[in-house]
Structure 1
């Protein structure tokens, strides 16, 4: 399978693969997505700790990932001031 074939990978529903949407994002967004892939749910501060990125960079990465629809967020039940982020692609 060549690189051009990978660009056109689609799932059973005919939608583009979620990782395809991440491909053109900045490296920080790719790193955050990968960390979320290995850890089901994390807060922004946990992501900053895991990735060793500054909180502002993590915030930017999460915004970009939410724009392309590959990250879901919800309020934490433990602390309503925090949001929990989950990767929504497989």
Structure 2
């Protein structure tokens, strides 16, 4: 994995995560503040898989989330 936008600590934390979480992290490396549905569209992964990947990434403090300013029902995600 390239170290362009991720620190060494983040890369080490990604090593034991599933491939779907690594893909979501890679997409977030190039796009800030994406919703879950945008991540599913970008990665071509099912919504459920993206949800699981985001949960695992949040547990490792690799991504952070906040409510979307344009739609408070949705959360947006970016690399921490």
TM-score higher than 0.5: yes
The answer to whether residue 63 in structure 2 is matched with residue 77 in structure 1 is no
Provide Cα deviations, 1:49-74, integer angstroms capped at 9, x if missing partner.
00000000000000000000000000
1:57-68 equivalences in 2 (<5 Å):
57-68=49-60
Aligned to 1:79, the other structure's residue is in SS state: coil
- Paired residue for 2:35? 43
Gaps of 5+ in 2: 1-6
In the TM superposition, residue 18 of structure 1 has moved relative to its aligned partner by 1.3
Which of the pair has more CA radius of gyration? 1
In the TM superposition, residue 19 of structure 1 has moved relative to its aligned partner by 1.3
Taking the aligned partners of 2:11 and 2:35, their CA distance within structure 1 comes to 21
In the TM superposition, residue 41 of structure 1 has moved relative to its aligned partner by 1.3
TM-score, normalised to structure 2, is 0.89
TM-score, normalised to structure 1, is 0.79
